Chains A and B, each alone.
Chain A
């Protein structure tokens, strides 16, 4: 028998799916696709960033030390920049599968959205974390030591500690962000890459 005929003859019955068909209310379903997950992640991190930015704005005016204020103002600008990027990214990701796209286009779109998400996370780790560390270090130091800022940053050991903190924590945060992304999305990214490669061969 030809395989075309064998295929047509095969009509698998599936008790699991039959049962599900009877139970499911299609209008109440939620997507568990990767794009929906990315959007949820972006939304929650955007809300957190918004809260953090509001706090930083408050801190910028609260700590009447101009060096800290300058540092915090720079962090504020970067936070707003990241917020704008996050909102754009959120709007740019369509969690809907588009049947007018070919499979290869759909795979590439999904891959690109995931890559874009990772790029934003890395930008955050490179631009926001070092400045936040420096600002936090200065605030913590001044408040904790109870000294004026000039006296605090005038000490050699403080400057060295600040530099060491930035040099050590920035790559740690950067690699931590990459590791987290790989942990949650690495396998799927690999699946997409394999499929794209198979189709393009």
Chain B
């Protein structure tokens, strides 16, 4: 795979990278570091990508393995709620976006391994696939997802 094609694949999956890196980075500098490391690792590991699999699944694995083995700053994450008052016409859509933002912020409050598991689950991977990607049993994945969802419900109520 040449560089141009590789970057085109990355472009298609930029949303995934933004989402995953944003879950773990504590500041803009760290975000850049993680992004460059993910690009480096995926570029140098591109031989292991087989065309029969989805590029996004392969990139997901590279991304999680890279981010979680990389040194990250340990900071308490603080969130601001600076949403402007909404115009009625766009209120429905904006509320949906606002809910999504709150969910994302709640996930950022979870333990690091839980963030990986729940993001995989929410992105539609089944428990067997999550178990393979993360390295734990399917039963354990189910238990963890149940617990994480409880935790998220509590966080979202506040």
Contact = CB atoms under 8 A, between A and B. Distances in A.
A88 interface: no
A10 B19 contact: yes
Contacts of A187: 71, 74
Given A17-B14, A24-B36, A195-B112, 5 more contacts: A16-B32, A33-B69, A34-B71, A99-B48, A107-B69
B22 A12 contact: yes
A188 B22 CA distance: 19
Interface string B46-88: 0011000000001001101110111110100000000000000
A3 interface: yes
Interface in A24-50: 24, 26-27, 29-35
A195 B113 contact: yes
B71 A10 contact: no
B135 A6 contact: no
Contact of B97 (A10, A34, A97, A100): A10
Interface of A: 1, 3-4, 6-14, 16-18, 20-21, 24, 26-27, 29-35, 96-107, 110, 187-188, 191-192, 194-195, 198-200
Contact of A26 (B3, B21, B22): B3
24 contacts: A3-B103, A6-B96, A7-B100, A12-B22, A16-B31, A17-B21, A20-B32, A20-B36, A27-B3, A31-B37, A32-B36, A96-B44, A97-B65, A99-B58, A99-B65, A102-B135, A103-B116, A103-B135, A104-B135, A191-B74, A192-B69, A194-B112, A198-B111, A199-B135
B102 to A, nearest CB: 8
Contacts of B68: 103, 106-107, 195
A97 B135 contact: no
B99 A101 contact: no
Given A12-B104, A17-B21, A21-B14, A105 B135 contact: yes
Contacts of A107: 68-69
